[in-house]
Chains A and B, each alone.
Chain A
Amino acid sequence: MSESKPENQLDKKESASKSHEAEVEANPLADDLVGELVRRFGESYVIKSGMVGGVPSIQVDAQQFVTVHAYLKQHPNWQLNYQSCYTGVDYGEELEVVSYVRSSSLLHMVCLKTRVSKESPRLPTLTTVHPGANWEEREMFDLLGIEFAGHPDLRRIMLWEGYAGHPLRKDFVEPQEESYGPST
């Protein structure tokens, strides 16, 4: 069951983002965002763009995730200096990292995303741009098993050291009653 569910989800995600593509035209903020990044970094930079829940969203390569955050943080037209929500989602083959950043002066919000494969879920840390990302990344490391290269203190935060598995992954199997508790 856990096998089929994420795939099912993936299909639906594809169709959902397709249906959103029409909306992109209507939203100047989303257009600007894509245009801005394409102008600065080139066509290949933006993997996917669209609207998610009324918020302009773009997906970039995992290695460029930090660069985009840093660029949009200092850019006078964007000033995305405040990270509201930072989390990860398991989509079966891939893990998606989602970051909602907003501007404290211009009041807009943008959703930045990236994807990493489940085999090597590794991407550079965002703590260099948003120090507040520290614990959220530890939580993602703990519950989703995503590794953040360069993170100052990458340890489990909610569960104990030695806990087997990452509960927020869709293929996580709940351990038997007797195996609960610290392993040492």
Chain B
Amino acid sequence: MVHRLESALQAGERMEEMLLNVGPQHPSTHGVLRMLVRARGETIVDAEPVIGYLHRGTEKLAENLQYTQIIPYTDRLDYLASMLNNYAFCHTVETALGLEVPERAEYLRVIVMELQRVASHLLFVGAYLLDLGALSPFLYVFQERERIVQLFNRICGARLTYNYMRIGGVKADAPSGWLEDVRDFLPFMRERIEMYDRLITGNEIFLNRVRGIGVFDTKTALEYGISGINLRSTGFRWDLRKQQPYSLYDRFDFQIPVGQHGDCFDRYYLHLLEMRESLCIVEQALEQMPKDGPVIGKVPKMIRVPAGEYYTSIEGARGEIGFYIVADGKDKPYRMKIRKPSFVNLQLIPELLRGQSLSNLIAILGAVDIVLGEVDA
């Protein structure tokens, strides 16, 4: 008996399969995600994400809310990029109504959206490094994120759930000195990105954890409807800001960085590169912005969207955020569907994990960059 076990151990054999449960209360699942992992020894045979722990039925709630009342609910989807959700919803309703948004409002929107993208990507860098066992970057990124959050707090009075956008414009103009402070923030942020680049990108321990891990190609990504950095990491240049320009994005000169290998390292590095491009956009927006003017267009008091179906999407921090609205001419949508990039991207996880070592689970899951508020809606 002992002999048989010993020889099996020596041959490196472990025949029985283990069913491991990760989450839903686990810091590296980025919220309330539960993962069921079937492992043979240390090799993952199969994995299954279990979601729904944060399901609030936003789509159902929206059917009983007036269009303006829905905006704060969108804050709570991807709570790390609320401004982008706000915009995605307002953009759909504005398209449906054919509303013209004043230029100053649109520039303010672009500035807050790109700052939001920087804040969201920053948190990704921090949280991802934390997942991989490096605690300090997580504390570092909160310093810069705090500057952005302070800026947002001054312009809209909230630190997380901004509710800043309105259908036809924004809630309020920038307070005095705000735009100057945004301008001051840019060189500071650029310097910090350089610092992260020096600190993290060349780190051998980090590279060994992320290089060649969680690889997928463009064909798989497109078939699975993957969007955002996950799609671009495969080398496919796809960014709705360029491919299907909305807002004022055709007025700015910026690059769409793409990866080469489609691995976790590319996904990490693209976050750094995109932050630089976002700062570029903010800089140009500050220069082009009209000195004054209204920040909200001529919008009727009660917004009634004409009967029809509307779908528009924008490039969020995690991919394509879209709102599909079926309107029946009333002040509330008949049906609202949210195209949630995290939800779609998360589907790929089982494919990526099969055959991987258990220690790569967190590295792969972290790089896909999901926010459970959005996955569960």
Chains A and B come from one and the same complex:
yes
Residues of A within 8 A of B (CB): 8-9, 12-13, 15-16, 20, 52-55, 81-85, 87, 89-90, 98, 100, 104, 107, 111, 130-136, 143, 156-160, 167-168
Q: Quick check: B335 and A90 within 8 Å, CB to CB?
A: yes
Shortest distance from the beta carbon of A84 to any chain B beta carbon, whole Å:
6
Residues 49-103 of B contacting A (Cβ, < 8 Å)? 51-52, 55, 57, 59-60, 95-96
By a CB distance below 8 angstroms, the chain A residues around B243 are 107
Tally of contact residues, B, Cβ under 8 A:
40
Q: Is B337 an interface residue (CB 8 A)?
A: yes
| B52 CB contact (under 8 Å) in A15, A53, A132, A157 | A157
Could you tell me which B residues sit within 8 Å of A by CB distance?
A: 51-52, 55, 57, 59-60, 95-96, 222-226, 236, 238, 243-244, 307-313, 320, 322, 324, 326, 328-329, 334-335, 337, 339, 343-344, 346-347, 376-377
Select which of A100, A131, A157 is within 8 A of B324 by beta carbon.
A100
Residues of B within 8 A of A52 (CB): 308-310
A152 to B141, alpha carbons, bound, how many Å?
A: 41
Majority secondary structure, B binding face: mixed
Q: Which residues of B contact A157 (CB under 8 A)?
A: 51-52
Asked, given contacts A98-B324, A132-B347, whether A82 binds B307 with beta carbons under 8 Å apart, the answer is no
A159 touches B55 (CB 8 A): yes
> What 6 pairs across the A-B complex have the smallest Cβ distances?
A132-B225, A53-B310, A132-B224, A87-B337, A52-B309, A158-B55
**A12 and B307: CB pair below 8 A?**
yes
Give A123 to B333 CA distance when docked, in angstroms.
Answer: 26
Complex formed: what's the CA distance from A52 to B312 in Å?
11
A9 touches B328 (CB 8 A): yes
From DSSP, what is the main secondary structure of chain A's interface residues?
mixed
Verify B224–A53 contact, CB threshold 8 A. no
Given A16-B307, A107-B244, also A85-B324 (CB < 8 A): yes
The residue of chain A having its C-beta at the shortest distance from the C-beta of B53 within the complex is A158
User: Please, which residues of chain A bring their CB within 8 A of the CB of B334?
Assistant: 9, 89
Q: Contact check: which of B59, B244, B347 meets A168 at CB < 8 Å?
A: B59
When the two chains form their complex, are residues B313 and A158 in contact, meaning their CB atoms are under 8 A apart?
Answer: no
Interface contact B344-A135, CB-CB below 8 Å: yes
State which of B57, B328, B377 has its C-beta within 8 Å of the C-beta of A167: B57
Out of B60, B222, B313, B343, which one reaches A104, CB within 8 Å?
B222
* Central interface residue in A82, A90, A130, A143, by most chain B CB within 10 Å: A82
Given contacts A81-B222, A82-B222, A132-B223, contact A168 B329 (CB under 8 A): no
Q: A9-B328, A84-B225, A160-B52 are contacts. A135–B309 as well, Cβ < 8 Å?
A: no
Most chain A CB atoms below 10 A, which of B243, B307, B320: B307
A97 to B52, CA, bound (A): 22
Partner of A89, one of B52, B335, B344: B335
CA distance A131 to B343 in the complex (A): 14
Contacts of A54 in B (CB 8 A): 95
B311 is contacted by which of A9, A13, A55 (Cβ under 8 Å)? A55
Contact B328 A84 (CB under 8 A): no
CA distance A93 to B327 in the complex (A): 18
Since A54-B95, A89-B334, A132-B223 are in contact, a sample of 6 more A-B pairs with Cβ atoms closer than 8 Å, ordered by chain A residue number, is A9-B328, A82-B222, A85-B322, A104-B222, A107-B243, A157-B52
- A84-B313, A159-B55 in contact; A53/B308 too (CB < 8 A)? yes
Bound CA–CA A167/B307 (angstroms): 23
Which of the residues B52, B307, B308 comes within 8 Å of A158, measured between beta carbons? B52
B376 touches A168 (CB 8 A): no
A106 CB to closest chain B CB (Å) equals 11
